[in-house]
Amino acid sequence: MTLGSGPARLFLAAAALSLGVVAAALYTQHALGMLPCPWCVLQRLIFVVVAAAALLGAAVSAPAARRVAAGLMLLGAVAGAAAALWQHFVATSSTSCKLTPADRVISATGLDALLPDVFGVWASCADAAVKLLGLPYEAWSLMAFLLLAAIAVRLLLHPRG
């Protein structure tokens, strides 16, 4: 891994952004009492997956391997953006998130039982509809996913730097 190269730095920046968003979510949950719904937790999981792909991209130097990592990042970012939009336009107006795709994915992974402080679902979608600094919580997530998608596209188009 060449930390001085442009692609490696972009991959590391994407990983830092993804994990920083998860850290911020955990801070707002545990310090500020903003409990997550299934769609919030699903987005956390997607940020972790994007971070893993970004770290993989930073660890390899072959352009083809970097393209694969960037492609995985882009798929994750698009999925995360879709989850944030679904949360905003559909889930927040629902009183229950039970048996939604987000709830099923989180349950299927078993992460809610393995790491409940990180991936546990503690609120309904309506209860979790809160604003942070004047914007809906999911809008912040959407902006981060869009930035990650832009980084991934840049890396796909220019894997060597």
For residue 3, what pLDDT band results from cuts at 50, 70 and 90? low
For residue 1, what pLDDT band results from cuts at 50, 70 and 90? very low
pLDDT tens for each residue of 42-62: 999 999 999 999 999 999 989
Return d(Cα 133, Cα 140) in angstroms, integer: 10
pLDDT tens for each residue of 125-159: 766 667 778 888 889 999 999 999 999 999 999 87
For residue 2, what pLDDT band results from cuts at 50, 70 and 90? very low
pLDDT score recorded for residue 106: 85
Return d(Cα 150, Cα 88) in angstroms, integer: 21
Looking from the CA of 83 toward its CB, the CA atoms found within 13 Å total: 29
Q: How many helices (H) and strands (E) does the chain have?
A: 7, 2
Prediction pTM value: 0.89
pLDDT tens for each residue of 10-41: 999 999 999 999 999 999 999 988 888 889 99
6-157 CATH: 1.20.1550.10
Residue 4 pLDDT greater than 60, yes or no: no
Q: Report the candidate in 75, 81, 76, 126 with the shortest Cα–Cα distance to residue 100.
A: 126
Indicate the average pLDDT of the chain: 88
For residue 104, what pLDDT band results from cuts at 50, 70 and 90? confident
Domain boundaries, the chain: 6-157
